[in-house]
Amino acid sequence: MKDTICLNDSYSTTKILQKEKPILENQDKKYPTTLFCTPNEKTIAQGGLRKRGYFKAPYVDKPLLSVITVVFNGENFLEKTIQSVLSQPYDNIELLIIDGGSKDGTLEIIQKYDDQIDYWVSEPDKGIYDAMNKGIDIALGKGLFFLNAGDFFVDDVIMDTLQIPSYLPVKSINSRGKLVDMKITDIKLGLPICHQGIVFEKKDIHYDVRYRMSADYDYYLNHGYKYLDFSQTNGYVFYDTTGVSSTNIKARLYDVGKIIYKHFGVIAMVNYAVRAMAINTLLIIYRTVIKRAK
Residues 171 and 260 both lie in one domain = no
Domain count, the chain: 2
Does 272 have pLDDT greater than 80?
Answer: yes
pLDDT digits (tens, 9 = 90+) for 123-142: 999 999 999 999 999 999 99
Q: Given a cut of 60, is residue 169 above it in pLDDT?
A: yes
User: Residues 173, 261: one domain?
Assistant: no
61-84 tens-digit pLDDT: 789 999 999 999 999 999 999 999
Q: Which one has a higher pLDDT value, 241 or 152?
A: 152
Q: What would the pLDDT profile of 227-269 be if each residue is shown by its tens digit?
A: 999 999 999 999 988 755 445 677 888 899 999 999 999 999 9
Amino acid at 278: A
Kindly state whether residues 253 and 289 are assigned to the same domain. yes
pLDDT at 243: 57
Same-domain check for residues 207 and 269: no
Task: State the Rg of the chain over Cα.
Answer: 20
If asked whether residues 144 and 267 sit together in one domain, one would say: no
Q: What is the mean pLDDT of the chain?
A: 91
Q: Are 262 and 134 found together in one domain?
A: no
Per-residue pLDDT for 294 more than 70?
no
Full-model pTM: 0.91
Each residue of 200-216: pLDDT tens digit?
999 999 999 999 989 99
* Nearest alpha-carbon partner for 48 in 126, 114, 124: 114
Q: What is the domain extent for residue 65?
A: 1-245
Task: State phi, psi for 47 to the nearest 5 degrees.
Answer: -175, -160
Percent of the chain with pLDDT over 90: 78
Name the pLDDT band for 174 (thresholds 50, 70, 90): confident
Given a cut of 90, is residue 149 above it in pLDDT?
Answer: yes
CA distance 97 to 67: 8
pLDDT tens-digit series, residues 27-59: 889 999 999 999 999 999 999 999 999 999 766
Rounded Cα distance between 205 and 188, Å, is 21
Does 141 share its domain with 285? no
Look at residue 123 in the predicted model and tell me its pLDDT: 97
Question: Across residues 182-187, what is the average pLDDT?
Answer: 95
Omega into 39 within 30° of 0, i.e. cis?
Answer: no
